[in-house]
Structure formats: structure tokens, C-alpha cells
Chains A and B, each alone.
Chain A
Amino acid sequence: MALAFDEYGRPFIILKEQEQKTRLRGIEAQKANISAGKAVARILRTSLGPKGMDKMLQSPDGDVTITNDGATILEQMDVDNQIAKLMVELSRSQDYEIGDGTTGVVVMAGALLEQAERLLERGIHPIRIAEGYEMASRIAVEHLDHIAQKFDFGPTNIEPLVQTCMTTLSSKIVNRCKRPLAEIAVKAVLSVADLERKDVNLDLIKVEGKVGGKLEDTELVYGITVDKDMSHPQMPKKIDDAKIAILTCPFEPPKPKTKHKVDIDTVEKFQTLRQQEQKYFDDMVQKCKDVGATLVICQWGFDDEANHLLMHRNLPAVRWVGGVELELIAIATGGRIVPRFQELTPEKLGRAGLVREKSFGTTKDKMLYIEHCANSRAVTIFIRGGNKMMIEETKRSIHDALCVARNLIRNNSIVYGGGSAEISCSIAVEAAADKYPGVEQYAIRAFADALDSVSIALAENSGLQPIETLSAVKSQQIKENNPHFGIDCNDVGTNDMREQNVFETLIGKQQQILLATQVVKMILKIDDVISPSDF
């Protein structure tokens, strides 16, 4: 196959080591790619929606993860196929960009591929299909703009935000207490949000988890928690109005970077050196004390002597605090990170209203809470839960909820969930299809069918009759010209998503459609797959 002939009829090899490669071309390649993409989508399909099931993933080291977050499933799945890897990327980019809807985007792409396969069988050229999809996606996105609604919220009226976060959380295992968690997420986002600039820096929200307790014990700490304890067991466990020195230098004698040697050859030198050493420790502690610090947080360790001196001078200290945590503490308390003792000044100290040590359970786990900080914009969500998997899953769910809240602050347009937006788009795309002359018309119609299949998956997972439900909702939407009808997953009794308070963000939905179309276009354009065959 990879053999060509020059003008004298001699063969030459285009592809090196061709016997070790396998090669798929033309329609074969497209079929294979589509079936791989569909296989990935099929795995995620059952995880869609509030009644979606979880997947259990066992990592190469034997650790177990249980999740229904699309991005996490695909990331940990150890995928080998190239096209499948593309789908993983797709879900990941949705995760980075929006943070939610990672399952939906893959299911959508899978549906588009499935439709494309049928069109290919009919002999439509892949590029034409891709172009049709592109047009259709544009129609759908415009239509979404059209049906989107603005909704108002403010620092006092957080109810709409909480409702949206609850929609996100309802598909996770934590839906038992989605209300408190949604409130925590919204409060956390609002406390770090810059409502003027409509920007949220999620880095300021730290999500910490500790095994034990109940999910209901999860709390929002206005401040920072550090998984450390005081360096000396007898230091005070609670400090009010702490002035915090944040140090990145160890309480140890200096270690100049240039290579050097101090030679001791006389008794006097030995003694001076000793005195200097003692003075050095004393100076370090004194400097901290002089600037008025009441708590020292240090990135490095302490010498025993320094530790005792600190304790003795009534200066509580925490050692071995990680770099990221140190930065967060600095942001929260308004302090500066000080790399040398000489540079300590009173202005560089951070301030916190309350620092306390808290212990948990029967083991000697201790955490340090830094609260009532000068700059209250850094917050920590502290998750408790029955076991490690639960905590990890809660972390992921909280992350999704945080992202949703952030997206709403950036852009407060929403569309209604429960498949209603997809159905409405499908109707619009279907209607628009007839206006296009040429082969693309088929592709556009196929796009509409693909949009439907997302809603079908939703209905299937909720244990409803998929086709009956979908057609009922669709006719209802057209009859009443109301895009708010969706699939009643929770058996509430109404189809109107506005009454059920099921929202999704507009940008999230738009991004889903655009990303899925892009990836499908990319897959359709591939007509030659060359891979090493030595498996």
C-alpha cells in the first residue's frame, strides 16, 4: 500500500518500516474512528443526568475511584485508542473552560458521530457532513442566545445562584445534601468574586478534605485551614488577633550557597563559634518578636533549640507549611512572604482575627484554622465524609458547583436544563434545515437528531420511556411555543423546567455544542490512520 513506483518502474518505500505499521484508509478509517468515538460516548451515556449511574475505576496502583464526573472518568480510564484520546481531550477542555457539562459534551459528540456514520453509508462526503454540522451548530448557538434569559442576583439575593448549583449537584452522589453544599459553594464564590469586573479567581478558594464525620459537617471557613499543628506541643492552641510572620527561611544557622569551610584550629575559635551559634538563634527569635509577631509560619523546619526559644518567648510557630498554602495565607492575611529575618518589618506581618488548632476523631489528626483574616477574600471549603472516595467525589462535585457559580457571575444568562435547551435547539435546527439547498441539508437534519439523542439519554437514565417522553415534550414545546419544557427526571410531575428550577449556564451549553461539533469535524476529516502494530 505504501509502495510507489518511480518513472523507471522501480519501487520505493514511502512509509518506513511498513511491515510494522498498520494502516486504515478511506471509509474504513472513518468507520473505525467513529466506532471508537461512539464506544467512549457509550461509556459515559449512562452517567448523564440526575439519575445517572456512577463508574468505578481502579487505577494502576489499585486505588478505587467512584465518580460520575465525565472528565474524571475519561482521565482515569487509561485510554489507548487515538480517537478515544481525542474524546478525553474534549471532555477535559470543557472541564477547563466551563467546569461542568463534561459528560454532556461527550455524549453529544458521540451522537453526532453516530448520525455521521449513517450519512456516510448513504455516500455523503465527510467534508460535506462536517460543513453541515458547522452550519447547524451556528444555528443552535444563535438559538440558544435567543431563548436565554438574564437573571438577577446580588450579594443579598443568592437564591438563583444556589438553585443553579443545586442542579449541578443533583447528578452527583452528594445530592443527599445538595442544598447546604450549593450554599457553601455560592457563598465561597461570592466572597472571592469581584462583582465589578465580573471576575472570580477560583485559586482563592481552597478545597480541603478530611476523612471522617458526615457529609453534613462540611463547612465553609472564612480563612485558611492548614493540615499542620504547632511545632511545640505546649504552645497555645488558640491565638486571638494574631500577627503572623510568614517566613521562607529556616530557623537554623545560615547555609551560604558558596562552598566554604570554617576551620577550627584553636580552642578560642571553637568557643567563639559556639557563642555565635547561640546568638544566632537568639537573634532570629528576637527579630520575630521585635516586629511584634504573635505567630510564626515557616516553610522550613526548626532546630530543637530554636523551637524551645520560640516556645519560651511565647511565640507560637508552625513549621513545614507548603509553598502553596504559604501563598494563600499571605493573600488571606495581607502579609508578605519574608525570605530573610533581616527583612522582617511590622508592615509585612499578616493579620488574622483568630488562629486555632482543632483535633478530630480518635486519631491525633490536627488542623490549624486561620480565620477572620484581614483580607477575607480567601476562603476554604472543608469537606468531611464517610470515606476517601466520598471526599474525592465531593471535591469534584464542589469544583463543578464553583465553576457554575463563577460562570454565572461572569455572564448571568441562563438556559433551562433537563434537556429543554437541546430539544428547543433541535426544533430550530430542524426548521432551518429545509432552507439550505444541497447535501448539507441532510447533515443539518442529522444534527437535530443528535441533539434529540441527548434528551433521549436523559430520559433513558431516568427510567422513562425515551421516545414517548421526547415526542410528548417536543410537541408540547412547539404547541405552546415555550422552550422551557424538558424531561421530568425526578418525577416531580411537571415538565416546565422553570417551575422545577433547573438551570444551566448559557456559555456552558454553547461551549458544549461548539466543542462537540469541532471534535466531530476533526474526526470526520481523518481518512488515513497509521499506527504501529506491535501490540
Chain B
Amino acid sequence: LSGIRISDFPKHRAYDQVFFLCTKTQSYSRPSYFPWRCIEKILKDDASEEKGERARMASFVGAIAITDLVKTTLGPKGMDKILQSTGRGHEVTVTNDGATILKSLHIDNPAAKVLIDISKVQDDEVGDGTTSVVVLAGELLREAEKLVAAKIHPMTIISGYRMAAECARNALLQRVVDNKENAEKFKSDLMKIAMTTLSSKILSQDKEHFAQLAVDAVMRLKGSTNLEAIQIIKKPGGSLKDSFLDEGFILDKKIGLGQPKRIENAKILVANTAMDTDKVKIYGARVRVDSMSKVAEIEGAEKEKMREKVKKILGHGINCFVNRQLIYNFPEELFADAGILAIEHADFDGIERLALVTGGEIASTFDNPESVKLGHCKLIEEIMIGEDKLIHFSGVEMGQACTIVLRGASHHVLDEAERSLHDALCVLSQTVNDTRVLLGGGWPEMVMAKEVDELARKTPGKKSHAIEAFSRALVAIPTIIADNAGLDSADLVAKLRAEHHKEGCNAGIDVISGSVGDMAELGISEAFKVKQAVLLSATEAAEMILRVDEIITCAPRKREDRM
């Protein structure tokens, strides 16, 4: 009975979030105060150990607390969360993206950390379904808790879950639709997926508009998953509807003074070079002079050097020069004299993208003008979005990159819009590579649950309980979607289950009308890859947590208070 934390046994579920989400409340449990510890003290002070049922309980409670936290954001009528940072300024983020919420939490419970981790990985790997994966893992654990209470060994539960997951995946594979051959249909699939993804986000009001944006942008990538090529510029002002996709490239910079504001048939040199006083790079060099006139001479030489450099750059026959680093006044003036548009301090991504778009090469030396590839575009001009001036490159050679300009009422709206759009873009770019598509709205879960239920009936032994539990966990997802929409979930899910008993049924929950509807007709689709990742990583995480029978927490490292 050494060092039990009283808080691990919440009397009411409502409390456990409080206990597990606050790191600071830890100090009341100092195991070293327990006098009987000194008899068998093996671990260091402050380190604690939890065994068997207690350990399992702690991890179940932690995992379920996390699940309950993000559960309400699931589905088209899910609610948002406000996150306030503890750092300076107490910045506020409003979001319903699971990964973003979980990333910002300070969690002390190790099992909860596992769940946060899978949500992060889901975000990195497929970009969407970050909430679903946590909710499914949580539901699996919730079911497992009941089984453990019914004296079924965790290992039996795990092997049951594994069989069930395999069976569920096969069920999905059988019902999957692949429209790779038919470009027209595939595009409409993409459109549907984008709309489904966006419908649960802040953009749901204008989801058609944004789905079109996202599909267009992804189609331009031509199968690459490099989302770097899609630039998102956020400009407050206007409404979300005013957002648009630009086929060219927009650089968030101003054109230097006295330089042309509009260039047709531009030849662009993209560079990464120092355009301030070009330092002597040889180590230990310094200027040592004995009179003022010498200083002036050297300064002159420096200027001469810069002039030469500019001349070399001009020798490329360009009329636009974009540099990653600063351009000082003097060279800028020289460029202005030559009638060349010089853009300074484009950040690194901007440079790379620009090089990608215009087909130019990022140059740092300028001695061989004939062999450096220049970028081309039809028109460079300054445009106004809201109150800001931006530089717009249109008619570019390579159509792979594009820019999406987001407009919206406030920074919070824009940030959330960007996250939502990013999710949609991720899913679409993954779908372009793996073109298999499923219906949405709780349909895949019901299909899986049906197959898994059948498997449970066929399996002899204790495993069948676990398999049955798996199907219950799957059904929990449509239930939560319905609950979040304020519908009668018990009634709806029962109807849905009855519908699914028929062969080849397309029924799912239609949140808008609040009834069971045909998902194919409603055009609600999801990417197979996302669903598969949700299923597999949730099972993996649940398995990992179930296998644990002991938690050893080391003494937290002492930190000096910097305040």
C-alpha cells in the first residue's frame, strides 16, 4: 500500500478531468510522507509506483477523461473549444481540431499522453480524423474496463480486439469504392470528401466554396503530397466567402521605392545572397587604417564591389530580382536605376516556392549568367487585398504551386480556417494517391460493427466478449455524432442498425435533417486511408494501454523557478 494517490480514485467521473489535467495539483501526494515506505524503499523519493488493478484504473481514467474532453467536438455539429495559453499575452485559440486541442494540454497522466501522441501522428500522417482516433481509442478502453471488471484477462481482450480490428478492416475493404479510372467521378469524390471534412469545421457555412478551393489546389499538385507548394495567406477583413484561390503566386512583400509596379513578360532571378555590405568571409580579416581618407577609399571599394555584383546580376538580362536576404538601400537604388524590380527578404519557403513556380534556380553566385536558369512569368503587379499591398506573379510556367488567400473577420477565425483548410488539403492529397473512398456519416462504423458482431458470434471462447465490445465501441462514434447534434442517439442508432441489416445499404446519420439518410445520395464521403489509420492506430493505442499492469513514475526533475 505504498504511495497511492488518493486522486486516482475519483468518486465522480466529473472530477477526474480536474485531477488529471492539472499538473500543478500534484504536490499533495508526497509518498515519502508515508512512514512505512522506508521498509521497502527501492525507488527514489517522490517516485511512485502503481500496480495491477490500480495501474489499470489510473490509465483507464486518464484515457477516458481525455476522450470525454474532445468528444464534444466530433461531427458536423460538434462544439469548439477555447484554449488560452499560459504564456505571455494569454493568447486565445478557438478550435475544434482534435490534434490542436490535445497538443496544447499539459497532461500528467501517462495513458493520456499515449492518446495525445496518436492524435499527433494521425495529424502528421493523414491530417484528418484526429478527434475520431482519440474517441475510438477511448471507447475501446471504456469497453475494456467493463471486461476487466468482469474478470477477463487483458491479454484475452487484446487478442479479441486484434481479431476484430482485422475483420473490421476487411469489411471496409470490401465496401470501398475506387473511381481511379473515371476522372470525372473521382473529382466529384474529392469534392464530396472535402465537403465532408469541412462540414465539421468553422468553414461549414461556405463549405462548397472552400471544397472547390481545396480540390482545385490539390489537383494542381498532380499527385505529389508536398503541401508546401500550396501557400496560404491570411488577411483579416472581408468575409470568409471572399477567400479565393490564385493560380499564380502571391508574395507578401512590397515593391521597392521607385521601381516599376508592373512588369510584363518578367524574367526573374531568384537568389539567396547577401545584398548588404558583402562581408569578407576569410577568417580573421579586419580593416586597419591609419587615416580617414583610407577609410573612405575602402568604403569606396566596398561600394564598387557591390556595384559590380549588381552589374553581374543585371548581366543576366532580368527585370525582376527576388532575394532571400536583405537588400540595402544602395543596391536597391542601383536596381531602381536600372528599372528592375527588386524584392528583398522573401522568407525561405517563399523563395523555394517561387523557384518552383517560375521554374527558376536559386542562385548565390552570379559569374555565369548564361547557365543560370531564370524564372519566367507573364505579369508581375502589385495588388491590394484589404489594406495590404502584395506582389502578384501571374501566368507562371509551372502550374504546380498556387496560393489561397483567406479572408475573414478576425485572426481567430482565420487561424481556425487555415487549420480546417489544411485538414482538407491533407486528406485530399492523400486521397489522390490512394483513391479508395468510403461513405461517411457513421456508415463505415456501422458496416464494421456489423461484420465484427458476426465474427463475435462465430468465435468460441472468452475472446468473443472482447470482439463484441469492439463493435460496441465502433457504434459509439455515430452515437456521439448524433448526441453532439442534439438528436435522440439511441433511437437513431437503433434505426441505423436495422437499416444496415439489409445488404448493400448506404444508410448513415443525416445530422442536418436529424434522421437516417442515404449517404450516397447526400454525397457524404470519407477517404479510406483516413478511416483505416483511425481504426489501426486506435486499436494499437488501446492495446498498448491495456498491456500495462504497472506504472512507475519517476520523481519529477527539479526545476529552478525563473520567476
Q: Which of A36, A80, A234 contacts B361 (CB 8 A)?
A: A234
Bound Cα distance from A213 to B372, whole angstroms: 40
Bound Cα distance from A364 to B288, whole angstroms: 47
Chain B's nearest CB lies how many Å from the CB of A238? Answer: 15
- In the complex, chain A residues 24-52 whose Cβ is within 8 Å of any chain B Cβ: 35-36, 39-40, 43, 46, 51
Chain B residue numbers with a CB within 8 Å of A525 are none
Question: What residue of chain A has the Cβ atom nearest to residue B425's Cβ?
Answer: A362
Tell me whether A362 and B365 are in contact (CB under 8 A).
Answer: no
Chain B's nearest CB lies how many Å from the CB of A79? Answer: 6
| Contact digits for A339-364, partner B, Cβ 8 Å, 1 yes 0 no | 00000000000000000000101111
Chain A's nearest CB lies how many Å from the CB of B437? Answer: 18
**Is B510 engaged at the interface, CB distance under 8 Å to the other chain?**
no
**Is A498 engaged at the interface, CB distance under 8 Å to the other chain?**
no
* 5 pairs of residues in contact across A and B, judged by CB atoms under 8 Å: A58-B553, A58-B554, A271-B305, A311-B362, A312-B363
Bound Cα distance from A64 to B114, whole angstroms: 8
Question: What residue of chain B has the Cβ atom nearest to residue A254's Cβ?
Answer: B283
Chain A residue numbers with a CB within 8 Å of B39 are 35
Q: Which of A183-191, A386-394, A470-478 lies at the binding interface? A: A386-394
- In the complex, chain B residues 348-405 whose Cβ is within 8 Å of any chain A Cβ: 352, 355, 361-365, 367-368, 371-372
Bound Cα distance from A109 to B273, whole angstroms: 66
Bound Cα distance from A262 to B286, whole angstroms: 6
Tell me whether A80 and B155 are in contact (CB under 8 A).
Answer: no
**Is B138 engaged at the interface, CB distance under 8 Å to the other chain?**
no
- Given the interface pairs A64-B113, A387-B117, the reply to whether A312 lies near B280 with Cβ below 8 Å is no
Tell me whether B124 and A212 are in contact (CB under 8 A).
Answer: yes
Bound Cα distance from A486 to B225, whole angstroms: 52
Tell me whether A55 and B548 are in contact (CB under 8 A).
Answer: yes
**Is B480 engaged at the interface, CB distance under 8 Å to the other chain?**
no
**Is B338 engaged at the interface, CB distance under 8 Å to the other chain?**
no
Tell me whether B297 and A266 are in contact (CB under 8 A).
Answer: yes
| Contact digits for A1-44, partner B, Cβ 8 Å, 1 yes 0 no | 00000000000000000000000000000000001100110010
| Contact digits for A265-287, partner B, Cβ 8 Å, 1 yes 0 no | 11100110110111011000000
| Contact digits for A249-272, partner B, Cβ 8 Å, 1 yes 0 no | 000111110011111111100110
Chain B's nearest CB lies how many Å from the CB of A519? Answer: 16
Tell me whether A362 and B127 are in contact (CB under 8 A).
Answer: yes
Tell me whether B544 and A308 are in contact (CB under 8 A).
Answer: no
**Is B302 engaged at the interface, CB distance under 8 Å to the other chain?**
yes
| Contact digits for A46-79, partner B, Cβ 8 Å, 1 yes 0 no | 1000010111111111101010100001001111
Tell me whether B551 and A56 are in contact (CB under 8 A).
Answer: yes
Q: How many of A's residues come within 8 Å of B, CB to CB?
A: 81
Chain B interface SS verdict (over half) = mixed
| Further contacts, 13 of them, CB under 8 A, given A78-B555, A79-B44, A309-B365 | A56-B110, A62-B108, A80-B41, A211-B124, A212-B125, A233-B352, A234-B361, A252-B281, A260-B284, A264-B286, A305-B273, A362-B227, A387-B540
Bound Cα distance from A256 to B282, whole angstroms: 10
Tell me whether B429 and A57 are in contact (CB under 8 A).
Answer: no
Chain B residue numbers with a CB within 8 Å of A253 are 281-283
- Given the interface pairs A267-B298, A267-B301, A271-B301, the reply to whether A261 lies near B290 with Cβ below 8 Å is no
**Is A410 engaged at the interface, CB distance under 8 Å to the other chain?**
no
- In the complex, chain B residues 115-143 whose Cβ is within 8 Å of any chain A Cβ: 117-118, 120-121, 123-127
Bound Cα distance from A431 to B113, whole angstroms: 52
- In the complex, chain A residues 202-228 whose Cβ is within 8 Å of any chain B Cβ: 211-215
Q: Which of B280, B290, B551, B556 contacts A273 (CB 8 A)?
A: B280
**Is B426 engaged at the interface, CB distance under 8 Å to the other chain?**
yes
Tell me whether A265 and B114 are in contact (CB under 8 A).
Answer: no
Interface residues of A (CB under 8 A from B): 35-36, 39-40, 43, 46, 51, 53-62, 64, 66, 68, 73, 76-81, 84, 173, 176, 211-215, 232-234, 252-256, 259-267, 270-271, 273-274, 276-278, 280-281, 303-305, 307-309, 311-312, 359, 361-364, 386-390, 463, 535
Question: What residue of chain A has the Cβ atom nearest to residue B133's Cβ?
Answer: A386
**Is B547 engaged at the interface, CB distance under 8 Å to the other chain?**
yes
Chain B's nearest CB lies how many Å from the CB of A477? Answer: 27
Tell me whether B125 and A78 are in contact (CB under 8 A).
Answer: no
Chain B's nearest CB lies how many Å from the CB of A409? Answer: 31
Chain B residue numbers with a CB within 8 Å of A39 are 40, 42
Tell me whether B286 and A261 are in contact (CB under 8 A).
Answer: yes
Bound Cα distance from A187 to B295, whole angstroms: 69
Question: What residue of chain B has the Cβ atom nearest to residue A393's Cβ?
Answer: B544
Chain B's nearest CB lies how many Å from the CB of A295? Answer: 19
Bound Cα distance from A92 to B82, whole angstroms: 48
Tell me whether B44 and A463 are in contact (CB under 8 A).
Answer: no
Chain A residue numbers with a CB within 8 Å of B283 are 253-256
Bound Cα distance from A271 to B368, whole angstroms: 20
Tell me whether B273 and A304 are in contact (CB under 8 A).
Answer: yes
Tell me whether A387 and B286 are in contact (CB under 8 A).
Answer: no
Chain B's nearest CB lies how many Å from the CB of A341? Answer: 16
Question: What residue of chain A has the Cβ atom nearest to residue B305's Cβ?
Answer: A274
Bound Cα distance from A60 to B48, whole angstroms: 11
| Contact digits for B251-291, partner A, Cβ 8 Å, 1 yes 0 no | 00000000000000000000011100000111111111110
Question: What residue of chain B has the Cβ atom nearest to residue A61's Cβ?
Answer: B557
Bound Cα distance from A468 to B227, whole angstroms: 62
Tell me whether B121 and A212 are in contact (CB under 8 A).
Answer: yes
Tell me whether B289 and A265 are in contact (CB under 8 A).
Answer: yes
Chain A residue numbers with a CB within 8 Å of B42 are 36, 39-40, 79-81, 84
Q: Inter-chain contact count A-B, CB under 8 Å?
A: 234
Tell me whether B153 and A266 are in contact (CB under 8 A).
Answer: no
- In the complex, chain B residues 141-162 whose Cβ is within 8 Å of any chain A Cβ: 153-156, 162
Chain B residue numbers with a CB within 8 Å of A51 are 155
**Is B242 engaged at the interface, CB distance under 8 Å to the other chain?**
no
Tell me whether B285 and A264 are in contact (CB under 8 A).
Answer: yes
- Given the interface pairs A62-B108, A79-B43, A80-B44, the reply to whether A308 lies near B365 with Cβ below 8 Å is yes
Chain A residue numbers with a CB within 8 Å of B221 are none
Chain B's nearest CB lies how many Å from the CB of A82? Answer: 10
Tell me whether B543 and A270 are in contact (CB under 8 A).
Answer: no
Tell me whether A55 and B550 are in contact (CB under 8 A).
Answer: yes
Chain B residue numbers with a CB within 8 Å of A79 are 42-44
Question: What residue of chain B has the Cβ atom nearest to residue A260's Cβ?
Answer: B284
**Is B536 engaged at the interface, CB distance under 8 Å to the other chain?**
yes
Tell me whether B290 and A387 are in contact (CB under 8 A).
Answer: no
**Is B47 engaged at the interface, CB distance under 8 Å to the other chain?**
yes
Tell me whether A308 and B364 are in contact (CB under 8 A).
Answer: yes
Chain A's nearest CB lies how many Å from the CB of B4? Answer: 16
Bound Cα distance from A483 to B143, whole angstroms: 43
Q: Which of A81, A173, A261, A263 contacts B544 (CB 8 A)?
A: A173
**Is B488 engaged at the interface, CB distance under 8 Å to the other chain?**
no
**Is B434 engaged at the interface, CB distance under 8 Å to the other chain?**
no
Bound Cα distance from A267 to B554, whole angstroms: 65
**Is B223 engaged at the interface, CB distance under 8 Å to the other chain?**
no
Chain B's nearest CB lies how many Å from the CB of A269? Answer: 9
9 nearest interchain CB pairs? A308-B364, A53-B549, A60-B557, A54-B547, A78-B554, A262-B285, A263-B288, A387-B117, A80-B44
Bound Cα distance from A84 to B49, whole angstroms: 15
Tell me whether B355 and A233 are in contact (CB under 8 A).
Answer: yes
**Is B347 engaged at the interface, CB distance under 8 Å to the other chain?**
no
Chain B residue numbers with a CB within 8 Å of A40 are 42
Q: Which of B274, B287, B371, B549 contacts A54 (CB 8 A)?
A: B549
**Is B104 engaged at the interface, CB distance under 8 Å to the other chain?**
no
Q: Which of B110, B298, B364 contacts A270 (CB 8 A)?
A: B298
Chain A residue numbers with a CB within 8 Å of B557 are 60-61
**Is B111 engaged at the interface, CB distance under 8 Å to the other chain?**
yes
Chain A residue numbers with a CB within 8 Å of B284 are 256, 259-262
Interface-centre pick from B40, B42, B290, B429 (highest chain A CB count, 10 A):
B42
Chain B residue numbers with a CB within 8 Å of A35 are 39-40
Question: What residue of chain B has the Cβ atom nearest to residue A255's Cβ?
Answer: B283
Question: What residue of chain B has the Cβ atom nearest to residue A83's Cβ?
Answer: B42
Tell me whether A46 and B550 are in contact (CB under 8 A).
Answer: yes
- In the complex, chain B residues 304-348 whose Cβ is within 8 Å of any chain A Cβ: 305
Bound Cα distance from A166 to B216, whole angstroms: 49
Bound Cα distance from A340 to B111, whole angstroms: 51
